[in-house]
Amino acid sequence: MTTQDRARSVREAVRRTPAYPFTPIDAPIKLDQNENPYDFPPELKRLALERAAERAWNRYPDLTADTLRERIGAYEQWDPEGVLVTPGSNVIIKLLTELAGIGQTVLSAQPNFTVYTLEASMLGARSVGEPLNADFTLPEAALTARLADSGPGVFYLTQPHAPTGHSDDAAVVERLVNAAGDDWTVVIDEAYHQYSGTDYRDLVRAAPNRLSLRTFSKAWGLAGLRLGYALMDPALATHLRKLVSAFNVNTLTQAAVEVALEHPAYVAERVAEAVRERDRVIEALAAHPTWTVYPSRTNFFLVRTPNADVAYRALLTHGILVRRQDSLPGLAGCLRVGVGTPAENDAFLAAALSIQAE
């Protein structure tokens, strides 16, 4: 009997959805997950551990992480009642699908962050994707048409975009958000906004059906703690909060992220280095005879190679792990490369420029 046969009670939509496409591979230079190459500063780690140790681990954590939400609210200058926290923004994406996607539509530009469509597929939302333009800008006319005829549902805009690293004109983003009207829950995923210097909070604040999705996983360098959040109107947060499982952010994460928010100076330094390094690597890679490197406003960038499989393996023989994106629509031959430490970036450049034939 196959697994398929035994899983007859599993809903069809879950069975036919592929697992999250990620295979962990060990490599000395890990540039495959857009992580911060630097760990949380050791002195802050110590403070976080002390803070966590002071709290009672036998007790359930603060139900709605009130202290943490207040700190985030103060940091972001946002009403804490409109702040929602979950273990990673991936969880908010699932909640948003439950909130406004099930039996309705999830609209995004393609390719996009895989989680949007995986959740839509499993939860029975109709997934509608409009291909990005060839230069990776948003397909404004096509999205505007979909907004007019495919609602209600959830509309995702990722700024800067992933996996392209492209940042769109603010005027285009604003027109699309306005075109969505009341029919849509409009999500601006700003996971990488620190690297682009963009910030759509004012657009989000202007209407009660809009959210900004943010995370501690990238610029803050805390991917291992799992904390994502969204900024929105308190009325929308009230509905979304009903869908959050109780006590969803654990005591250790709450304590550590509070400490991070009390000492945020390290973030700007690291973002500045990542931006410098990104621009340096992209400029140097422009000399590659067969690869095309795309501009980026994030801590990663895309390169188009003649053969992604060959290029990926060749980098791996140099101990460098990147992410294949070549099966995504419009990204034939593409690899996604994270920005590492200066030494890691030097190693990547040396390896990449030595892979001449591929």
CA distance 339 to 298: 9
User: One symbol per residue from 30 to 69: x for binding ligand PLP (CB under 6 A), - otherwise; what is it?
Assistant: ----x-----------------------------------
Looking only at the bridges linking them, the beta strands covering 300-304 and 334-338 are: antiparallel
- Cβ count within 10 A of residue 26: 7
Contact call for residue 89 and ligand PLP (CB under 6 A):
yes
Using the rule CB under 6 A, give the single segment among 57-65, 85-93, 138-146, 239-247 that binds ligand PLP: 85-93
Contact call for residue 256 and ligand PLP (CB under 6 A):
no
SS (H, E, C) 185-248: EEEEECCCHHHHCCCCHHHHHCCCCEEEEEECCCCCCCHHHCCEEEEECHHHHHHHHHCCCCCC
Q: Cβ of residue 100: shortest distance to ligand PLP, in angstroms? A: 18
Q: Cβ of residue 56: shortest distance to ligand PLP, in angstroms? A: 27
Nearest to 188 by CA among 151, 164, 215: 215
Q: Which is nearer to ligand PLP, 232 or 314 (CB)?
A: 232
Nearest to 111 by CA among 92, 138, 86: 138
Q: Cβ of residue 290: shortest distance to ligand PLP, in angstroms? A: 28
Contact call for residue 196 and ligand PLP (CB under 6 A):
no
Helix orientation angle between 89-100 and 114-123, rounded to the nearest 10 degrees = 40
Contact call for residue 254 and ligand PLP (CB under 6 A):
no
Contacts with 108 (C-beta within 8 Å, 6 or more apart), sequence order: 116, 117, 128, 129, 130, 155, 156, 157, 158
User: One symbol per residue from 105 to 144: x for binding ligand PLP (CB under 6 A), - otherwise; what is it?
Assistant: --------x-------------------------------
User: One symbol per residue from 291 to 330: x for binding ligand PLP (CB under 6 A), - otherwise; what is it?
Assistant: ----------------------------------------
CA distance 25 to 146: 39
User: One symbol per residue from 213 to 252: x for binding ligand PLP (CB under 6 A), - otherwise; what is it?
Assistant: --x-xx----x----x------------------------
Q: How far is CA 227 from CA 11, 67, 255, in A?
A: 29, 14, 12
Q: Which is nearer to ligand PLP, 162 or 281 (CB)?
A: 162
Q: Cβ of residue 50: shortest distance to ligand PLP, in angstroms? A: 25
Contact call for residue 191 and ligand PLP (CB under 6 A):
yes
Residues that bind ligand PLP (CB under 6 A): 34, 88-90, 113, 158, 162, 189, 191, 215, 217-218, 223, 228
